[in-house]
Amino acid sequence: MDKPDALDSFLNDFAGITEPKILVHGGGKIASNLGSQLGINSSYIHGRRITDSATLDLVTMVYGGLVNKQLVARLQNRGCNALGLTGADGNVIKATRRPVKDIDYGFVGDITPDDVNVVLLHSLLKQQGIVPVFASLTHADGSMLNTNADTIASVLAIALSKDFDVRLIFCFDKKGVLKDINREDSVIRHLPRKLYDELLPGKVFADGMLPKLDNAFAAIDAGVREVVIGDAGNLLNNTAEQTEGTLITQ
């Protein structure tokens, strides 16, 4: 998101996918940088942003406005008829504000596949040929809520897997899930749950990877056929039969 050349290349690839598709994005680095300029400091626990009222305003502006509309405009320029959405638009993803337990995450939304307006998505994807572009925001009780982009992608994949053959692809700036964070060549090509459970106590996985892996296994458990975690530059390869990155299975 914060590397213009890489983003242009990714959007070219994404626009070239001919099957029905959905793009889910965050923009955490952009929000953090802008927040620093505005005197809003970000704090995280287990890789997840704590969202107080000032941070909620920040991420709503950055994710739902600046980043989302720039992506939509760039996709339109590539002949991809995209529609920018948050969970509040068309009530496409309603949420429940996360209750305070051991940690108060603030204005954060929890969602399930039952919270997805599948009828609306079917209309956009199948009848109108529109590509939904989701910012990582949901809503509840008249308030926007910050919701992890990987969680939204996972929940959308699960909800749509009842009627579509879904491949969920998590794109980031590494070749896949690394066994050694300091070695780019230590990609775990196949990560079944048993191996994940064995590696987890040894703190092999970086904090930022844990939400991706949690959501990947939640999707597999709920009926999504395939989950791939890999480099955004390998998107087209990861839509083909011979995938790169890390393949997540049961």
Indicate the DSSP class of residue 76. H
* Pairing mode of beta strands 143-146, 137-140: antiparallel
pLDDT category, 1, cuts 50, 70, 90?
confident
Q: Average the pLDDT over 43-58 and give the result.
A: 87
Q: Average the pLDDT over 56-74 and give the result.
A: 98
Write down the pLDDT at residue 182: 87
Q: Average the pLDDT over 64-75 and give the result.
A: 98
pLDDT category, 6, cuts 50, 70, 90?
very high
Write down the pLDDT at residue 242: 79
Tens-place pLDDT, residues 129-177: 999 999 999 999 999 999 989 899 999 999 999 999 999 999 988 999 9
Judged by average pLDDT, the poorest of 31-40, 73-82, 118-127, 239-248 is 239-248
Closest CA to 115 of 94, 100, 99: 94
* DSSP three-state, residue 92: coil
Return phi, psi of residue 191, to 5°.
Answer: -125, 85
Tens-place pLDDT, residues 29-41: 999 999 999 999 8
* Rounded distance between C-alpha atoms, residue 214 and residue 24, angstroms: 17
* Rounded distance between C-alpha atoms, residue 138 and residue 86, angstroms: 6
pLDDT category, 207, cuts 50, 70, 90?
confident
Q: With 0-12 CB in 10 A as exposed, 13-18 as middle and 19+ as buried, what is 229?
A: buried
Write down the pLDDT at residue 48: 73
List domains and CATH numbers for the chain.
1-164 (3.40.1160.10), 167-250 (no CATH)
The CA angle 67-69-75, to the nearest 5 degrees, is 105
Write down the pLDDT at residue 47: 65
Write down the pLDDT at residue 243: 85
**Are the C-beta atoms of 66 and 226 separated by less than 8 Å?**
no
Mean of the per-residue pLDDT values of the chain:
93
Write down the pLDDT at residue 173: 87
> Is the pLDDT confidence value at 192 over 80?
yes
